[in-house]
Chains A and B, each alone.
Chain A
Amino acid sequence: MSNQAVASRGNVEPGAAQAPALRSRPAAPASSRFAVGGGRHAAIKLASVAAFIALWQWLSSNHVDLKIITFANIPAPSDVAPAFLNLLESPKLAAHIGNSLWRVFAGFIAAAALGIGLGLIVGRSRWVADILMPPLEILRPIPGVAWIPVAILAFPSSEASMIFITFMGALFPVLLNTIHGVESVDPRLIATARSLGAKPLSIFLEVILPSATPSITTGLAIGMGTAWFCLVTAEMISGEFGIGYFTWESYSLQNYADILVGMVFIGAFGMLSSVFIKQAGRALTPWLATQEKQH
């Protein structure tokens, strides 16, 4: 073969030796700092959490009163743990969690669909940006929670109003990050795609969309956080079921240990859903994992 010489010489190029050996590298997700890093680090981290809980236990069980802040009425971990187990056995738990999850995902998915769709168009077309962005810019600084009274007035069903508030919370992070992702596409890549024969639709699907994906997934992760935040607040005001409602109801009924149980659930589900978004984002952008490893 006449190209043998080319091929064999290619393999001894100095740069080739420096290229990282992909297959030998373990897949190391960015959030692995808690998982790996040696047993000692893990032990220190666990001890830190244990110390935090011990401090809380001590402050609460001794009813420590620091004048500015008092722990006299705060249930201790030893009260919260049984309440937690109690709720785990309660049939109401599934209804609370199910309602919250449904609302958060309904609002989040609506916000993701509209935010990504609108962001892709606004990022590519100055005309659409001029027409649509001014009213959105006016609404942007208004926090999702501030929409609660209007939402109650505007939506006959409290279910719809809670989903709307969740939607408002998630919309802007997704929209703005999508626009940013589209606007920061390397114009050289677009020019290259054109000179390789790509038509506008192909440029959009093959260049703009993948190029904007990392920014979009960042927007989705932030949006998921604000969606939970807005949902919990909305449930405290107008819910019948849901984790936020459970937390506030516990306060009203003076089941103070249950307040903390509600908070634990809110934290856990917020964390789980952002892990879910991050994993989905990582699956959509496999090339970024290889770039991270280069540094």
Chain B
Amino acid sequence: MNAINEAISPDAGVAVGNIEINGVGIELGRGADRFEAVRNLDLDIPAGQFVCLLGPSGCGKSTLLGAIAGHIRATHGAVRLDGERINGPHPDRGLVFQHHTLFPWKKVIDNVAFGLKMKGVAKAERNKRALELIKLVGLGGFENRYPAQLSGGMQQRVEIARVLINHPRVLLMDEPFGALDALTRNMMQELLLEVWEKIRTTVVFVTHDIDEALFLADRVIVMTHRPGRLLADIPIGFPRPRNRDLLTAPEFVAIKRQCLHLLHGEHEQFKQADPLQRLSPLGPSLITETQVHLSE
């Protein structure tokens, strides 16, 4: 336990990871394609809290996540981390996608150690720390595989380990288990909670799966249909550590029913609307934006 904490956060001790979202509105696209993804959102997430953003698809929850990550700029208002305004991606805010973004040409260990390599940590030291994280996510023995040689669940574990090695203040997850089969998804949820018990970073987890949100979170934020606004802010006080039995507990079912009603109301109101594309936390004009950033 001590060894792990040292490996992950050698300079820990300062309780950080407080996210403040003040009057945030986000407009995406250009010209006639421009639309409002998020409108006038206020949210304060204290350090160390596990928050799930729940909402219908296309409600702007991934966009909001992208704004916290720094890949998308808020059109109005400001997103702050520990009082500092976010204006670009940073290793302090680790982002995990639904489909892995591991580097196919790097072995598991080199993928996990990437953040340390970028910090200039010597090879022996970064490999040692990467191995500890690989073991923490249950992938000991797989460190010399390439990502293509792993199953979907294993790839997401590597992704989580790669983000955690930077001991981020915030862990941002965009439907990270959405592409996994039900059984693997359950296991990954439990694994995530176990890892989080050891590394108490702030987590913002986007999902449209009510069970997943209630099982994982300290607090569930339900968002409206586009443009995304705050519909409900539900504290989830179930004791930890949690296990699967929770899913059938009466208190759980009561909150689930409440969420279903909220989301169903949203759906009724908007079911005539055009189907929405799934938005990425990287924004719609991804390619041009990254190129602009690189040529700067």
Contact = CB atoms under 8 A, between A and B. Distances in A.
B184 A3 contact: no
Interface stretch (A71-79, A111-119, A201-209, A218-226): A201-209
B117 to A, nearest CB: 8
Contacts of A186: 101
A197 B287 CA distance: 19
Contacts of A294: 148-149
A188 B282 contact: yes
B152 interface: yes
B4 A3 contact: yes
B290 A190 contact: yes
Given A13-B138, A187-B286, A22 B183 contact: no
Interface string B94-120: 110100010111100000001101110
Contact of B119 (A197, A211, A287): A197
Contacts of B106: 287
Contact of A7 (B115, B138, B282, B294): B138
B224 interface: no
A62 interface: no
A19 B94 CA distance: 27
A128 to B, nearest CB: 10
A200 B294 CA distance: 6
Contacts of A279: none
Nearest to B149: A290
Nearest to B1: A2
Mostly, the A contact residues are helix
Interface magnitude class on chain A = 35 or more
B135 interface: yes
B294 A190 contact: yes
A98 interface: no
A22 B91 contact: no
B154 to A, nearest CB: 6
Contact of A6 (B136, B153, B154): B136
A157 interface: no
16 contacts: A3-B1, A3-B198, A6-B195, A7-B136, A7-B138, A9-B191, A13-B184, A189-B103, A191-B101, A191-B286, A193-B114, A195-B90, A198-B114, A206-B103, A206-B117, A287-B148
Interface of A: 1-3, 5-11, 13-16, 18-20, 22, 124-127, 186-200, 202-203, 206-207, 210-211, 213, 285-287, 290-291, 294
